[in-house]
Amino acid sequence: MALRFTVLASGSAGNASLLEADGFSVLIDAGLGPRQLAQRLAAVGASWEQVQAVLLTHTHSDHWKERTLAHLRRRRIPLYCHAQHHPTLLAYSMAFPQLLKDQLVHGYEPGGELTLGASLRCRPLPVRHDGGATFGFRFEGSADLFGQPWALAYVADLGSWTPELAQAMADVDLLALEFNHDVELEHASGRSAHLIARVLGDAGHLSNSQAAGLLQEVVRLSEPGRLQHVVQLHLSRDCNRPELAVEAIRDLLADGVAIHTASQDEAGPALMLGMLAAKTRTTRGPRNPSSSRRADPSASQAWLPGW
């Protein structure tokens, strides 16, 4: 089963990623309006017509938009979320009760597993964040006539990590992980003491060094040579720089591992896994200078807003 994964937007202004596998397309979060999402999808050769589900990580407003929930209802696209997300969505969304009424809301539980489409497996991974119940996801696809088995982990918006989380993320081909801030830049930002404490807290956001520590543990627990791509998510506009995020991990990875810094402002690149990657659609988003093999420190990096 071949996979195509694209970050459509990442940062405090809105988050969404597209995962396509075995004829099934799912959005991880829908933190842009439907028109802007349509533009980002079109940039990578996709469209709303192909989207068959949306997975919600948590209920902070940069991960869902009211207009987009209404758009899901019009298109009869199911929303997968945790039961603890319901109170916030019921309080702040007029569209969510209609999705419930139309039986377009489906649940997931930590420790459980979803099957999306015919064979795309998804395991929710609980993480600690001040957005209430918050989750990352591990996706897996099996070998078949059309491709090799693969695994992908997507984990953003967390303030700390545990050995259990690292183990759940081990042995993946692609790891999409938050690199929110540089601690020194955070302290020097001029932000309020309350906001700095919130970001740096155990339920805030991962710093570059914290993310590097998690990545190092994931690599240690994984089969040598398994990891192919690291995607850096949710960099802060004020308190991080792409070159700092890259520098934090470039010596932790084997030669040939590609590092990509996701952008708030454009989609792409589309990352391929599985035997048929070279034969699958080659349509990509705008050229992303932030993609590099083993994080060439001289490569320019996309600047990504965030906290």
CATH number, domain at 119?
Answer: 3.60.15.10
Measured between alpha carbons, how far is residue 41 from residues 37, 166, 267 in Å?
A: 6, 31, 8
Task: Give a yes or no: residue 271 inside a domain.
Answer: yes
Task: Give a yes or no: residue 274 inside a domain.
Answer: yes
* One pLDDT digit (tens) per residue for the chain, 307 residues: 789 999 999 999 999 999 999 889 999 999 999 999 999 999 999 999 999 999 999 999 999 999 999 999 999 999 999 999 999 999 999 999 999 999 999 999 999 999 999 889 999 999 999 999 999 999 999 877 667 889 999 999 999 999 999 999 999 999 999 999 989 999 999 999 999 999 999 999 999 999 999 999 999 999 999 999 999 999 998 999 999 999 999 999 999 999 999 989 999 899 999 854 443 333 333 334 355 555 333 332 222 233 4
Residues contacting 272, CB < 8 A, separation 6+: 2, 3, 4, 278, 280
Task: Give a yes or no: residue 300 inside a domain.
Answer: no
Task: Give a yes or no: residue 196 inside a domain.
Answer: yes
Task: Give a yes or no: residue 306 inside a domain.
Answer: no
Task: Give a yes or no: residue 74 inside a domain.
Answer: yes
DSSP letters for 208-271: HHHHHHHHHHHHHHSPTT---EEEEE---TTT--HHHHHHTTTTTS-TT-EEEE--SSS----E
Q: How far apart are CA 250 and CA 114, in angstroms?
A: 34
Task: Give a yes or no: residue 299 inside a domain.
Answer: no
Q: Which domain holds residue 289?
A: 3-293
Task: Give a yes or no: residue 166 inside a domain.
Answer: yes
Q: How many domains, the chain?
A: 1
Sequence-distant contacts of 16-20: CB under 8 A, at least 24 apart: 16/40, 17/154, 17/176, 18/44, 18/46, 18/51, 19/120, 19/139, 19/152, 20/46, 20/50
